[in-house]
Each structure stands twice: as C-alpha cells, then as structure tokens.
Amino acid sequence: DAGVIQSPRHEVTEMGQEVTLRCKPISGHDYLFWYRQTMMRGLELLIYFNNNVPIDDSGMPEDRFSAKMPNASFSTLKIQPSEPRDSAVYFCATGLPGAGELFFGEGSRLTVL
Amino acid sequence: KQEVTQIPAALSVPEGENLVLNCSFTDSAIYNLQWFRQDPGKGLTSLLLIQSSQREQTSGRLNASLDKSSGRSTLYIAASQPGDSATYLCAPYTGTASKLTFGTGTRLQVTL
C-alpha cells in the first residue's frame, strides 16, 4: 500500500474561491481523520469518519467547511468560500489512534491570498 | 479539555549529545500517549506508544517515560544524530477516536 495520499500538495487561491482537498486513505482502515496544522494553534482535529460516516465534526471551524467520505477509498474537505485565515496545512490520517496506529498523509499546504 | 504543552519549543544540540524533550498534559485520565516525529513538509510518523500502565517504552535510541498521575511524559534521545533533526510531538489519548490531542511540538536541530 502506498500510504495515505493527499492532493493537491500545494494550493494557492484567492479569497472567496472554493477549495477542495482530497484524500485516499490506506485500505482496510475504518477511521479517517482530517487535521489542520498552523503555527499558532498546532495540530487540530477537524472531523473524523468511521466506516464512511461522520462521527464528530465539532472541530470544523465554520459552515464554510464541509467534508465527505462517499466510499472507503476517498474523502474530501471543502472550503467555500475560502478566507486568508484558512491558510494552513491540512492533513488526512487513517488508523486507530488508541492502538498507536495513526498514519498521516504528507499534507496539503493551502495559501489563501 | 486536554491541554498539552511541550518544552522547549526549539532545541539545538551538537551531534552525540543525549537530550530530553518534555510533554505535560492537564487531563491525567489517559489510556496511552504517543510520540510522533514530523519532518519538514511531511506528515507525522509514530515513534513510540506508551500505555497508561507502563512507566517506560524503548525503541532503539529512543526512550519514552510516562508519569500519568503528574501529567508528564519525556522523550529521551541518546547519542543524537543529524538525522534526528525534526519536530517531535506528543499526543495523549483519552479513550475515544477523537480524543488524541497533540502538543505544539519541539523543533530539534542536531548539528555536526
């Protein structure tokens, strides 16, 4: 397995534009997590799925953020409209945190001008 | 809400030194604690998992200790090497899938 694959790796967009980040998780893992990392706030959990169902989205900052997992091999995080304060690195991860098995993608670096 | 603090925020040491990274957390009702490594521009990689019933866990030159009651963990790196240069994050786990709280990390640089 190639690990967790995220795209795009880098995205630069203008305020107000829609941004879609994509994640292909490791097969066989039931949990999928979206995190956001900034210098000020560190790594924050946005939302997680279990068997493609969103379980906890309390970390999603605003209604401008939405996430979907239409099947076990694909998830998206969408920001519409984007704002400069959304600039961050967004990580997708799969596995079981409680078992010490959490595998991260390399992240999508978003810059909103 | 779990608060996780890592000290120091940054550290620079010459190659060969032994060093200690500190992690403190406010909610001691944890199941386990993990230490992660993050290289620049990369995702996190798990280094060590220490269960709440354990005092120490070792992997190669890395040794993690846990004092659950006082809300502290340390990561000891022996004989540091330039390849150890990275950011190290601790993450206590309090029992549900969402309750893995990350510290802000210690950025380590090991110089030749």
- Give the pLDDT of residue B24: 97
Min Cα–Cα distance to chain B from A50, Å: 9
* Mean pLDDT, range A57-69, rounded to an integer: 94
| Range in A9-23, B4-18, B56-70, B93-107 the model is least confident about | B93-107
Bridge pairing between strands B10-14 and B106-111: parallel
* B93: chain A residues, CB-CB within 8 Å: 97-98
pLDDT of A1 above 90: no
Q: Which of B43, B97, B103 sits opposite A97 (nearest CB)?
A: B97
Residue A35 confidence (pLDDT) = 96
List beta partners, residue A49: A32, A54
β strands within chain B, DSSP E: 4-7, 10-14, 19-25, 32-38, 44-51, 56-59, 62-67, 72-77, 86-93, 106-111
Per DSSP, A6 falls in state E
What's the DSSP call for residue B100?
B
Which tokens in the block code for residue A19? 């941004």
Across chain B, mean pLDDT equals 94
Nearest to B97 among A31, A106, A107 (CB): A31
pLDDT(B47) > 70: yes
Q: How far is CA B56 from CA A45, B25, B53, B64, in A?
A: 27, 17, 9, 5
Q: Report the pLDDT averaged over residues A74-85.
A: 97
- Residues from chain A contacting residue B91 (CB–CB below 8 Å): 97
Percent of chain A with pLDDT strictly greater than 70: 99
Q: Given this model, what pLDDT does residue B95 score?
A: 81
**What tokens were used for B85?**
């240069």
Q: What whole-number distance in Å separates Cα of residue B71 and Cα of residue B59?
A: 22
Q: What percent of chain B has pLDDT over 70?
A: 98
Q: Which residue of A48, A58, A104 is in closest CB contact with B43?
A: A104
